[in-house]
Amino acid sequence: MENLPDFYKLEFERHGITDVVLFGDCRPVHRPAIELAKQAGIRVHVFEEGYFRPYWVTLERGGVNGYSALPLDPEYYRQRAKEVPDYDNGTPFVSPFWKRAAYDVGYNFWAGLNPVLHRGVKSHVPHNPATEYANYLRKGLGTHINRRRAKAIQARVTLDANLPPYYLFPLQLTTDSQIIHHSDFENMSQAMDKVIRSFARHAPEHSLLLIKAHPLDPGLVNYARHIRRLSKELLLGKRVLYIDGGHLPALINGSSAVITINSTVGASALLHGKPTKALGRAIYDIPGLTDQQDLDEFWLHQQKPDVHLFRKFRNVVIHDTQINGGFYCKPGIDLSVNNSLQKLLF
């Protein structure tokens, strides 16, 4: 790992490199290449999961997410939107989950050999994949129970007119670079602690907080237990609910407001016209879109997003950074390749 900067520098000079293309810009093997490329005036193009899913992937020059060059000035989007088309959801395709899982297993098989084949390599993955797979299997055994419980909770909070309003806090993967590199939190447990404590002190007395698990969370952290412990400590009774499942659009639509770190769920909440508080560095954390108050003030006095500004923002971001396509099925990959060529060669 310590030799990577010299290796990259030699390769850049030897081959007259003009462009570097990578997937993600936070991995330890990528950071030296990005820093050297920028010093040498070499263009950096970063692929990442789409800002607007499921039919878009990101291809952005310079960096993505918290490293993105997209401005946080609402006036920029109001003016720039006049120059770009009005985008729909893109060409659709079917991306089976089993294929994505197969890619993941294949990737981790070879990554698991890195300590033998490439001694000293530093992975961006904090947990052994075998540990995650074991937890996925354990979690899978309780899928039916979790789905039934989630369905009951969703029906209760969205259909029962006698229940008080609820705030929605969708969790992100605790190992996600969005948390580790683009927020001030070390993990999701720390973020959850901040949100629940603020809710206990400042939210309306009879309101609810609904915390939703990430659909790909392997269950390495027992969030339900953490919530029960905090609720008991803060005398919240049953005001904090935890749901492992459910239909996200319906939950967003039924909520009073949404709290996120920097998840793409935040963009979905803005699309639904819901007041949204971003606690991390998100490309959509812009005056006029997300609530700019402190979290403690957010519970009582939310600011609704400007849906017209969001439409302009979405069109600009898609035009400048998004590729219609996917990573995990042939139709999606074909679209990504064809559409990427146009951006890379521009």
Between 245 and 113, where is the model more confident?
A: 245
Which pLDDT score, from 0 to 100, does residue 113 have?
A: 83
Task: Choose the weakest-confidence range: 126-130, 275-279, 338-342.
Answer: 126-130
pLDDT the model gives residue 104: 86
CB 223 within 8 A of CB 192: yes
- When mean pLDDT is compared across 89-103, 255-269, 295-309, the lowest value belongs to 89-103
- Residue 24 pLDDT exceeds 80: yes
Report the percent of the chain where pLDDT is more than 70. 99
Tell me the C-alpha distance between 158 and 210, whole Å: 11
Query: Cα 295–184–298 angle (5° rounding)?
Result: 5
pLDDT value at residue 107: 85
pLDDT at 343: 85
Q: What is the mean pLDDT of residues 240-260?
A: 96
Q: What is the mean pLDDT of residues 21-46?
A: 95
- pLDDT at position 119: 81
Q: pTM higher than 0.85 for the full model?
A: yes
| Mean pLDDT for the stretch of residues 92-106 | 90
What average pLDDT does range 154-165 have in this prediction? 90
CA distance 114 to 292: 44
**With 90 as the cut, is the pLDDT of residue 97 above it?**
no
pLDDT at position 133 is 74
Give the pLDDT confidence score for residue 116 in this predicted structure: 84
210/253 Cα distance (integer angstroms): 13
> Any idea which fold 128-312 has?
Rossmann fold (3.40.50)
Using an 8 Å Cβ cutoff, are 185 and 261 in contact? yes
Report phi then psi at 154, rounded to 5. -60, -45
pLDDT at 155: 93
Who's near 68: CB < 8 A, 6+ residues apart?
60, 62, 283, 321
Spell out the alpha helix ranges (H) of 274-329.
295-298, 307-321
pLDDT surpasses 90 at 218: no
Residue 158 near residue 250 (C-beta atoms within 8 A): yes
Q: Is the pLDDT reported for residue 139 higher than 80?
A: no
Please report the pLDDT score of residue 127 as a whole number: 67
The whole-angstrom separation of Cα 90 and Cα 326 is: 11
Whether a cis peptide bond, with omega within 30° of 0, leads into 54 is yes
Predicted pLDDT at 248: 95
Taking alpha carbons only, the member of 126, 96, 95 closest to residue 111 is 126
Residues 6+ apart with CB under 8 A from 220: 127, 131, 132, 135, 174
Between the two ends of the chain, the Cα-to-Cα distance in Å is 33
Model pLDDT, residue 112: 80
> Average pLDDT of the chain?
93
**Banded pLDDT at 300 (limits 50, 70, 90):** very high
Average pLDDT over residues 166-177: 94
Residue-level pLDDT at 184:
96
pLDDT reported for residue 220: 82
More confident residue, 259 or 220: 259
Q: Which residue ranges does the chain devote to CATH 3.40.50?
A: 128-312
